[in-house]
Amino acid sequence: MQSNNWGYQDISPPKARTLRQVPASRGLVVEDVQTGWVGAVVRIEKSGGMHIMELADRRNKVRAFPLGFGFLLDGEPVEVVAPRAATPPRTATRTASGSLKVAGQRAQVAKASRIWVEGKHDAELVEKVWGDDLRVEGIVVEPLRGIDDLTAAVRDFGPGPDRRLGVLVDHLVPHSKESRIVADLMKSTAAKNNVLVVGHPYVDVWQAIKPGTLGIPAWPVIPRTMEWKVGILKAFGWPHGTAEDLGLGWQRLLSRVSSYSDLEPSLLGRVEEVIDFLTAPVS
């Protein structure tokens, strides 16, 4: 206790520590201090004047917790609060890709043309940033789950002037396995004129998210002896032992992406190139 100028002891309580407030956005991973439960936010609802969030652990088991104090985010005590409602725009708005959003524009019926990406995570990232644009154009994104059989897949697809195909390939750099697969494809008759293959230099599409978006100076360097995604989660100190851990880790990363400005230009340019190719008038 301290004495004031009149000799009385100061018995006022100590100042409470102000915790950082974190919105309970979908994919946010927090730990409940009291129970030790760690999970990602999968749903939020308001019940009886109180906001409740559901946290799914790495085994997809779900428990509900009231928002507020008593949570850790990466070891830091935080106050989890309800996400703010989006303010309606006063003027014309833009999509996450930066293009002008047309009011009242309905999604077109899906056309025959397609964008192929290597996996589920690639498809989710493209959908999050370019989804509005693709629905207006009627273009569907489909995951391939690898490109080892790309030439056969393109032949089965049967591309043509009204049935074009754009393919986005991970780690398309000189002398890589991916570059050899693409070179073989482009020699085939099926790929001529109606197929465009582009790629980014990253090991995985995760790396196309700017480090600054995640609050890190650079992506960790992972030894070649370790699976890259597992190594990334391990370097972040996140669970990494199961497929569920990888899925939750990706959702946590994807939740940080809100627009094209969160992604590397080397990915942005390639996706825009594919969209332009698929939407160009048939000559």
96, 129 Cβ separation under 8 angstroms: yes
Query: 114-209+257-279, what's its fold?
Result: Rossmann fold (3.40.50)
Task: Name the residue ranges covered by the structural domains of the chain.
Answer: 20-81, 114-209+257-279
Name the nearest CA neighbour of 113 among 173, 159, 61, 53: 159
Residue type, 123: A
147/212 Cα distance (integer angstroms): 30
pLDDT, averaged in runs of 10, over the chain (283 residues): 44 57 87 87 74 81 84 88 67 55 48 87 92 86 88 89 90 87 81 86 92 92 94 93 91 91 91 90 73
Q: Which helix (H) or strand (E) holds 192?
A: none
Tell which residue, 247, 258, 214, 245, has the closest CA to residue 97: 258
Report d(CA 138, CA 128) in Å as an integer: 16
Which secondary structure element, helix H or strand E, spans residue 97, and what is its range? none
Backbone phi, then psi, for 173, in 5-degree steps? Answer: -125, 160
* Half-sphere exposure at residue 121, Cβ-oriented, CA atoms within 13 angstroms: 22
What is the per-residue pLDDT for 34? 84
Which residue, 252, 270, 218, 261, is CA-closest to 40? 252
Helix (H) or strand (E) holding 145: none
Q: Read off the tokens for 82.
A: 């309800």
CA angle 127, 133, 135 (to 5 degrees): 75
Instruction: Answer for the pair 78, 21: CB distance below 8 angstroms, yes or no.
Output: yes
Name the residue with tokens 């005590």: 77
3-class DSSP assignment, residue 152: helix
Q: Which residues contact 249 (CB under 8 A, 6 or more apart)?
A: 229, 232, 233, 236, 238, 239, 240
Dihedral class, residue 146 (left if φ above 0, else alpha if ψ from -120 to 50, else beta):
left
pLDDT at 195: 92
Q: What is the DSSP string of 236-272?
A: HT---SSHHHHHHHHHHHHTT--SGGGB-HHHHHHHH
Among candidates 58, 37, 25, 28, which has minimal Cα distance to 247?
A: 58
Q: Are 135 and 141 in contact (CB under 8 A)?
A: no
Distance CA 85, CA 243 (A): 33
Q: What is the assigned CATH class of domain 20-81? A: mainly beta
